[in-house]
């Protein structure tokens, strides 16, 4: 299929991006239950997806030469359901990706049966969260629900110092403590200290809740 035809039809199809034929076959088979599927090997197709977003897209995160950070996919996550597969993933990393709108973060150890469930859940508008990350997400959402009305009326971002606001914005962008420390030329410990002050001033439980609050204001 030519690129022109692929782009023209992309909005009515699902998409898989990976340079692994095994990965493409596995996910194409799973997505085919939902409709036609396009497969690409080149991560540069992400630019085209913003123009003609597909019904959903599965990204093999190992296919990108440069490591993508959550904020890099925030725009795409707003226009199409994204499912990402990583070689390995920590709970903090999974929560950061979910905070920017990604529907599911998968790893190669998941069975085909579990992946089929993930496809079904995400295509019905839901998100899939790992057993390890679920307690942390629920805690953040419970706290968010309890304080939602007050925060919606007044996020109190003016309480933050300029440095705290920079750190809060970077958390909202999906950056880890290590990336924040590197960008602001401060230590990881200093970032943690500032985050403690930010959580206290804004009355949020954790970074996932902070990211939800900041992205709500955009």
The pLDDT of residue 28 is 94
Domain extent listing, the chain: 3-123, 134-216
The Cβ of residue 5 has, within 10 Å, a number of other Cβ atoms equal to 10
Split at pLDDT 50, 70, 90, the class of 151 is very low
pLDDT digits (tens, 9 = 90+) for 6-55: 444 556 789 999 999 999 999 999 999 989 999 888 777 777 788 888 99
The pLDDT of residue 83 is 96
Split at pLDDT 50, 70, 90, the class of 190 is very high
d(CA 61, CA 117): 20
The pLDDT of residue 203 is 84
d(CA 21, CA 44): 17
pLDDT digits (tens, 9 = 90+) for 98-140: 989 999 999 999 999 999 999 999 988 899 999 888 888 777 6
The class level of CATH for 134-216 reads: mainly alpha
Name, in order, each residue with C-beta under 8 angstroms of 31's C-beta and a sequence gap of 6 or more: 14, 16, 37, 56, 58, 119
The pLDDT of residue 11 is 64
pTM: 0.63
pLDDT digits (tens, 9 = 90+) for 153-172: 455 788 899 999 999 999 88
Structural fold of domain 3-123:
Rossmann fold (3.40.50)
How far apart, in Å, are the Cα atoms of 76 and each of 51, 72, 115, 135, 212? 10, 8, 22, 27, 17
Torsion, Cα 65 66 67 71, to 10 degrees, reads -130
d(CA 213, CA 201): 13
The pLDDT of residue 142 is 61
- Evaluate the CA torsion angle 63, 72, 181, 90 in order and state its sign: negative
Q: Find the mean pLDDT for residues 193-211.
A: 87
The pLDDT of residue 145 is 58
């Amino acid at each position: 299929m030519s690129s022109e035809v692929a782009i023209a039809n992309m909005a009515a199809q699902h998409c898989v991006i990976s340079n692994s034929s095994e990965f493409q076959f596995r996910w194409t088979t799973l997505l085919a239950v939902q409709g036609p599927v396009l497969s690409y090997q080149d991560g540069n197709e992400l630019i085209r997806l913003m123009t003609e977003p597909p019904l959903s897209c599965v990204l093999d995160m190992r296919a990108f030469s440069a490591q993508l950070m959550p904020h890099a996919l925030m725009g795409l996550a707003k226009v199409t359901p994204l499912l990402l597969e990583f070689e390995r993933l920590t709970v903090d990393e999974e929560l950061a990706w979910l905070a920017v709108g990604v529907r599911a973060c998968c790893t190669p150890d998941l069975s085909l049966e579990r992946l089929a469930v993930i496809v079904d859940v995400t295509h019905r508008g839901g998100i899939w969260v790992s057993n390890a990350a679920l307690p942390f997400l629920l805690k953040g959402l419970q706290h968010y629900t309890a304080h939602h009305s007050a925060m919606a009326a007044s996020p109190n971002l003016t309480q933050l110092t300029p440095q705290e606001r920079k750190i809060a914005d970077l958390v909202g962008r999906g950056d880890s403590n290590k990336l924040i420390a590197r960008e602001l030329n401060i230590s990881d410990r200093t970032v943690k200290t500032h985050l403690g002050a930010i959580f206290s001033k804004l009355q949020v439980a954790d970074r996932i809740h902070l990211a939800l609050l900041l992205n709500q204001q955009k």
